[in-house]
Amino acid sequence: MATVMITGGTGLIGKALSQALGKRGHQVVLLTRQPVKNVPAWDASAPLSYALWNIRTGQFPAEVLPHTDYIIHLAGANVAKGRWTKRRKQEIVRSRTVSGALIVEVLRQHPNRVKAVIAASAIGWYGPDADERGGGTSGRSRRAGGSGPRPFVETDPAAEDFLGSTCKAWEESLAPLTTMGKRRVTLRTGIVLAREGGAFPSFAAPLRAGIAAILGGGGQMISWIHIADLCRLYVQAIEDPSMEGIYNAVAPSPVSNKTLMLALARGLRGKFFIPVHVPAFLLKIALGEMSVEVLKSCTVDAHRIRKEGFQFIFPSIEAAVNDLIVRR
């Protein structure tokens, strides 16, 4: 059994991951700014407990470090919550970079037995597919036969847009860990599909009225992952010491927005739904700059994690949607 400290552990992924780790027999310590209801304060013998931290004041529970084997770093302001005002963008960046720098500094200053830090990042690193950039300005070749741009791989450079630069700064904040002898794993995560929150309930909401809301033209590619598979990836990153570096945390079968919405509509409504395209200009009015991400096509490759032997439980969008619908 290992003791795993999780930052951002009270969010959607953190809650699911805590359960997954507990089922594997690992002890979990959630780092949070506020006490967690029905979860005790840190106790070295408790299977699940919390400890307080605060990146604004530099507060960190250093007393837990001698008991901690792994840190999973999920903390970061929700990118999809609210319009991207100047202040909000600053919060999105700072919540990731300052928290990463704090982890590095604490590990440098305090005795610890931490073997590895497994950190979230996002496929926002890559920017849009080549076709959206005028054909190949991303430096990637097209697929054989000209059927579309080659999917992004882990060695591709960061985009120069807001999310690309944010992800770059996010990952760089933890870079000093390598020189400290800590194994470092980064999971660039796609759109997470979960019944409890995130994108899935938002996609499903219009279907209560029988409407399958296809965003823009619907052809933009979505690189997604079922939350159960994402949690299994984090568990593997802990339990497999050969895992190191950057991995795309996406399912092996990206789909278009239209394909996803129609699969969801068929699962929830059978034949009783109406596909409706939401014009891009309305999304731009409603979401502002963030609409660029909603309408962006980003095709990301899962080859490296599959090469590590990882087997997806939900490799197709149909399997993922069916599972999420059944559990509703």
Instruction: Transcribe 206-274 into DSSP letters.
Output: GGGGTEEEEETTS--EE-EEEHHHHHHHHHHHHH-TT--EEEEE--S--EEHHHHHHHHHHHHHTT--E
What is the spatial distance between Cα 223 and Cα 188, in angstroms, rounded to a whole number? 11
Residue 120 pLDDT exceeds 50: yes
Residue 327 pLDDT exceeds 60: no
Residue 98's pLDDT is: 96
Task: Tell me the pTM.
Answer: 0.92
Return the domain boundaries, the chain: 3-190+224-250+299-314
Instruction: Name the residue with tokens 């919390």.
Output: 50
pLDDT band at 208 (very low <50, low <70, confident <90, very high): confident
- What average pLDDT does the segment 265-289 reach? 80
Q: Is the dihedral of CA 18, 19, 24, 25 positive or negative?
A: positive
Q: What order do you get walking across the sheet with 224-226 strand by strand? A: 197-198, 191-194, 224-226
How many CB atoms lie under 10 A from the CB of residue 89? 17
Answer whether 224's CB lies under 8 Å from 250's CB: yes
What is the spatial distance between Cα 193 and Cα 176, in angstroms, rounded to a whole number? 32
Residue 269's pLDDT is: 84
Residue 229: which of 302, 128, 123, 151 has the closest Cα? 302
What is the spatial distance between Cα 67 and Cα 238, in angstroms, rounded to a whole number? 16
Residue 192 pLDDT exceeds 90: yes
Q: What are the residues whose beta carbons fall under 8 Å from the beta carbon of 8, sequence distance 6 or more?
A: 14, 31, 73, 74, 75, 76, 120
What is the spatial distance between Cα 95 and Cα 67, in angstroms, rounded to a whole number? 25
Residue 146's pLDDT is: 46
Q: How far is the CA of 22 from the CAs of 74, 117, 184, in angstroms?
A: 17, 18, 22
Residue 275 pLDDT exceeds 90: no
pLDDT band at 131 (very low <50, low <70, confident <90, very high): low
Residue 135's pLDDT is: 44
DSSP 152: B
Q: What is the pLDDT of residues 143-162, one digit of tens each?
A: 444 456 689 999 999 999 99
Residue 291's pLDDT is: 74
Q: Which CATH architecture has domain 3-190+224-250+299-314?
A: 3-Layer(aba) Sandwich (3.40)
- What average pLDDT does the segment 263-282 reach? 84
